[in-house]
């Protein structure tokens, strides 16, 4: 007996989702790589199959009928499930590249210095790194995993905390020798401070809401650029420990305070549950866990100790 699903216009459902999302036959046709006439034909086929109108056309304007509005969420969910199932089957093999998303700053300053170890210990694992702050939609992308800096709430995903983060103050050694170490009680007047939008001074040192911060030679919205500015001696900066540790180890920067603040965010490894047992992903995750476990917190005991807080009379 032939299945009733054999008559179901599956391709028309994909076309309907494209039109309903864009409310445009022409834009849907461009997205699907077909002609507007082919789109119209598929919509007509679906409406004839259901016996109800799904879209209203008024010139170039397209609107969903109540029935179309009711159908759309189910179509989207079904297509997402289908795409995810196909992608899961395609990527079940142990070979091939891993697609991993993470922050650009973490990739540049923490991951990249460790990649040689990954290549030597797991020569069969090839990682395609992609940088973005945006959450990954695993149902609509080819990503296997992501390393996220956040609070740790990732519903529907396998997640594992890799490591904590700290906010520390750093400065070029020559600048530190000139102005001295600081703490949370230090009067910062007269000290050049680099202001960063991602890691502002207010997260490291509390201050009255209306109290102005000392002037800055630069305000920068990129964490790595702030770090580079600090290595150039432009000022003291509040930075993430993971980004600064290598430059401190090389002597390009120094901890300028024994006061550090643990970040409200941590680094998390996240992936769809369907990929969690993928052999190449298991090996990569194990390597990443070992690297994070070996990464030490800031050694504040060896940072210089601040003297008496600066007074306003010493400002320049």
Question: Dihedral, CA atoms, 87, 90, 96, 101, nearest 10 degrees?
Answer: 10
Residue 64's SS3 state is: strand
Q: Does the pLDDT value for residue 26 go beyond 50?
A: yes
Residue 62's SS3 state is: strand
* pLDDT tier at 92, thresholds 50, 70, 90: low
Residue 176's SS3 state is: helix
Arithmetic mean of pLDDT, 188-198: 89
CB atoms within 10 A of CB 221: 10
What is the second-level CATH architecture of the domain 4-90? Orthogonal Bundle (1.10)
- Looking at residue 75, the DSSP 8-state letter turns out to be H
pLDDT for the residue numbered 197: 86
Share of the chain above pLDDT 90, in %: 50
Domain ranges for the chain:
4-90, 97-165+264-294, 166-263+299-314
- pLDDT higher at 61 or 210: 61
* pLDDT tier at 166, thresholds 50, 70, 90: very high
Q: How far is CA 261 from the centre of its chain?
A: 22
Where is average pLDDT lowest: 140-149, 167-176, 215-224?
Answer: 215-224
Which residues, other chains included, contact 232 with Cβ-Cβ below 8 Å and sequence gap of 6+? 172
Token pair listed for 37: 């006439």
Q: Comparing 4-90 with 97-165+264-294, is the CATH topology the same?
A: no
In this structure, are residues 220 and 195 in contact, taking their beta carbons and an 8 Å threshold? yes
Q: Does the pLDDT value for residue 167 go beyond 50?
A: yes
Residue 115 CA to residue 98 CA, distance in Å, equals 14
Token pair listed for 230: 């600090």
- pLDDT higher at 289 or 97: 289
Q: How far is CA 193 from the centre of its chain?
A: 27
**Partners of 193 in the β-ladder:** 236
Which residues, other chains included, contact 66 with Cβ-Cβ below 8 Å and sequence gap of 6+? none
Fold type of domain 97-165+264-294: D-Maltodextrin-Binding Protein; domain 2 (3.40.190)
Fold type of domain 166-263+299-314: D-Maltodextrin-Binding Protein; domain 2 (3.40.190)
Task: List, for residues 95-134, the tens digit of each pLDDT value.
Answer: 568 999 999 999 999 999 999 999 999 998 999 999 999 9
Task: List, for residues 38-62, the tens digit of each pLDDT value.
Answer: 988 999 999 888 889 999 887 778 8
Arithmetic mean of pLDDT, 155-170: 96
Residue 161 CA to residue 154 CA, distance in Å, equals 11
- Please give the C-alpha separations between residue 257 and each of 84, 128, 172, 198, 210, in angstroms, as whole numbers: 49, 37, 13, 19, 25
Task: List, for residues 263-280, the tens digit of each pLDDT value.
Answer: 999 999 999 998 898 889
Residue 313's SS3 state is: helix
- pLDDT higher at 307 or 205: 205
**Partners of 56 in the β-ladder:** 63
């Amino acid at each position: 007996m032939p299945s009733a699903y054999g008559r179901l216009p599956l391709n028309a459902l994909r076309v309907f989702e494209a039109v309903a999302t864009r409310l445009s036959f022409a834009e849907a046709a461009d997205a699907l790589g077909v002609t507007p006439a082919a789109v119209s034909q598929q919509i007509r086929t679906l409406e004839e199959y259901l016996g109800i109108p799904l879209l209203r056309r008024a010139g170039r304007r397209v609107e969903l009928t109540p029935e179309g509005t009711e159908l759309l969420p189910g179509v989207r969910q079904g297509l997402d499930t289908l795409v995810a199932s196909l992608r899961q089957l395609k990527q079940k093999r142990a070979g091939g590249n891993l697609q991993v998303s993470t922050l650009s700053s973490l990739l540049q300053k923490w991951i990249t210095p460790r990649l040689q170890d990954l290549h030597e210990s797991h020569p069969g694992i090839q990682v395609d790194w992609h940088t973005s702050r945006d959450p990954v939609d695993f149902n609509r992308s080819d990503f296997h995993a992501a390393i996220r800096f956040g609070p740790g709430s990732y519903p529907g995903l396998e997640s594992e905390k890799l490591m904590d983060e700290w906010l520390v103050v750093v400065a070029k050694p020559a600048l530190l020798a000139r102005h001295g170490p600081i703490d949370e009680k230090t009067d910062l007047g007269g000290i050049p401070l680099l202001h960063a939008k991602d890691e502002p001074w207010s997260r490291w040192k509390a201050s009255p809401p209306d109290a102005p911060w000392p002037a800055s030679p630069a305000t920068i919205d990129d964490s790595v650029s702030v770090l580079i500015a600090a290595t150039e001696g432009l000022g003291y900066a509040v930075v993430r420990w993971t980004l600064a540790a290598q430059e401190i180890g090389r002597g390009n920067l120094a901890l300028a305070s024994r006061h550090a603040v643990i970040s409200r965010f941590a680094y998390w490894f996240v992936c769809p549950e369907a990929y969690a047992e993928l052999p190449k992903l298991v090996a990569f995750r194990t390597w990443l866990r070992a690297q994070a476990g070996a990464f030490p917190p800031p050694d504040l005991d060896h940072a210089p100790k601040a003297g008496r807080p600066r007074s306003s009379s010493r400002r320049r």
